[in-house]
């Protein structure tokens, strides 16, 4: 019954959008169940796939994307009420647990919070165990914090280029720290998250409120040395997903702090994003707003879904309908056969046309697991409005 209500509600929501869209429930049904068909394997988290060849890119738990697939199973349980998703999520979750000791990267939030964090509210019988994993992970993550820089170090690779790189994506990992403070009543995690958000606010943004991808700091002085890109078109371009991380990250940071400066940055970057002269009419951005090959550049659905989800939350704080309208437009655009993978294609993904790493020619215009994750989150957030 919960299923029927869900699809009926989604249908109403989509019909209320301006553009004409096909019936979406049938489109999604086979895609959703494809996640159940994917075999449980502790070493093979699905990350992306080629629709043309059917080859699935599988990764171990240490990959930054491992938590999204489990998060998708949790969110599908939440959306549909079908217990099969919950059972699968409970099977997959423990494969990520060992990452709580992995201090080699900042991606703890993506891995642990998108999996264990999504399960918290859905399985009361496992709440205490999941909270323990979240707190242990937070303890590992804060070992990467420098009081001098007042930020968490993002990456350890590329040491010949960077000394203390901090990337905009790192904002998303702060949610794990805010939650760890809520769970333990110990403010130390939250304090670090706030310092990191303030440092990023100071150094990552340009005058037009777009952001750099990477800021490299001098760990001795704590001052920024260079500002550049790693996944964007060039150092001065606007990598679309980077803008999404900023919008989502500062909206989330405002949720926990009520700091107006965080809200203002979220709004300013959201305005830059949705009003960008290179934003296509359907709301799905090109992978970088400044790729000179626009309009022939690939799109990035993951940037659209992450922004849409963030903007539904931002709408809640600002009541600015522009944000909600953008999110609805994205969901409406994606509810078509141009974006939903055909039912005949096997593979545990829902949406096509995300772009992972353009400079490395990797995962271009493909289904990618985090595009689906923020899509499902946006559906849940719309449903909750
Ligand atoms: N966090 C890496 C990426 O957005 O591709």
> Cα(138)–Cα(338) distance, rounded to whole angstroms?
40
For ligand 1, what atom is nearest to the CA of residue 169? 1
Instruction: Return averaged pLDDT per consecutive 10 residues of the chain, 385 residues in all.
Output: 43 43 68 96 98 97 98 97 97 97 97 97 96 98 98 96 97 98 98 98 98 98 98 98 98 98 98 98 98 98 98 98 98 96 96 98 98 98 96
Report in angstroms the alpha-carbon separations of 35 from 43, 83, 88, 246. 16, 13, 9, 29
Please state the φ and ψ torsions of residue 374, each to the nearest 5 degrees: -75, -25
Would you say 162 and 155 are in contact if contact means Cβ atoms under 8 Å apart?
Answer: yes
Question: Which pLDDT does position 24 carry in this prediction?
Answer: 61
The full set of domain ranges for the chain reads 2-384
3-state secondary structure of 286: strand
Global pTM reads: 0.94
User: DSSP character for 133?
Assistant: H
CA 173 – ligand 1 centroid, Å: 12
Count Cβ atoms within 10 A of the Cβ of residue 361 and give its class: 0-12 exposed, 13-18 middle, 19 or more buried.
Answer: exposed
Phi and psi (nearest 5°) for 232? -90, -175
- Distance (Å, rounded) from C-alpha 161 to C-alpha 203? 19
Nearest to 271 by CA among 294, 253, 297, 250: 250
The whole-number pLDDT of residue 18 equals 38
DSSP H/E element including 226:
strand 224-228
Q: Give the pLDDT of residue 8.
A: 40
The CATH architecture of the domain made up of 2-384 is Alpha/alpha barrel (1.50)
Atom 1 (ligand 1) nearest CA: 169
For residue 378, give the H/E element and its range.
Answer: helix 369-384
Which pLDDT score, from 0 to 100, does residue 20 have? 37
Residue 25: what pLDDT?
Answer: 64
First to last CA, the chain: 20
> Are 47 and 369 contacting, i.e. CB atoms less than 8 angstroms apart?
yes
Nearest ligand 1 atom to alpha carbon 107: 1
Residue nearest to atom 2 of ligand 1 (CA): 169
Residue nearest to ligand 1 atom 5, measured at CA? 356
Identify the helix (H) or strand (E) that includes residue 263.
helix 260-274
Nearest Cα to Cα of residue 58 among 92, 91, 24: 92
pLDDT at residue 27, rounded to an integer: 85
Residues acting as catalytic residues: 107, 169
């Amino acid at each position: 019954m919960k299923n029927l209500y869900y699809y009926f509600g989604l249908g109403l929501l989509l019909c209320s959008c301006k553009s004409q869209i096909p019936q979406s429930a049938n489109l999604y049904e086979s895609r959703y169940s494809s996640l159940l068909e994917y075999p449980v394997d502790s070493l093979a988290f699905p990350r992306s796939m080629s629709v043309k060849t059917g080859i699935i890119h599988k990764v171990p738990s240490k990959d930054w994307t491992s938590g999204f697939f489990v998060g998708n199973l949790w969110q599908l349980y939440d959306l549909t009420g079908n217990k099969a998703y919950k059972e699968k999520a409970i099977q997959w979750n423990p494969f990520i647990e060992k990452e709580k000791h992995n201090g080699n990267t900042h991606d703890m939030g993506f891995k642990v919070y998108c999996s264990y964090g999504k399960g918290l509210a859905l399985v009361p019988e496992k709440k205490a165990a999941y909270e323990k994993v979240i707190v242990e992970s937070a303890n590992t993550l804060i070992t990467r914090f420098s009081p001098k820089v007042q930020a968490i170090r993002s990456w350890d690779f590329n040491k010949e280029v960077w000394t203390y790189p901090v990337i905009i994506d790192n904002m998303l990992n702060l949610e794990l720290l805010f939650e760890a403070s809520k769970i333990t009543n110990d403010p130390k995690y939250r304090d670090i998250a706030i310092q990191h958000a303030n440092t990023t606010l100071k150094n990552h943004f340009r005058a037009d409120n777009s952001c750099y991808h990477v800021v490299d700091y001098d760990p001795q002085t704590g001052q920024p040395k260079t500002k550049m890109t790693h996944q964007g078109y060039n150092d001065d371009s606007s990598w679309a997903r980077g803008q999404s991380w900023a919008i989502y990250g500062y909206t989330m940071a405002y949720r926990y702090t009520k700091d107006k400066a965080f809200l203002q940055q979220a709004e300013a970057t959201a305005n830059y994003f949705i009003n960008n002269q290179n934003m296509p009419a359907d709301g799905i951005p090109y992978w970088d707003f400044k790729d000179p090959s626009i309009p022939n550049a690939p799109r990035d659905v993951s940037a659209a879904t992450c922004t849409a989800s963030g903007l539904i939350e931002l709408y809640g704080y600002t009541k600015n309908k522009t944000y909600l309208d953008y999110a609805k437009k994205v969901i409406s655009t994606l509810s078509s056969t141009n974006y939903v993978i055909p039912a005949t294609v096997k593979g545990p993904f829902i949406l096509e046309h995300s772009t992972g790493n353009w400079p490395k020619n990797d995962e271009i215009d493909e289904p990618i697991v985090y595009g689906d994750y923020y899509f499902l989150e946006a559906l849940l957030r719309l449903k909750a409005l």
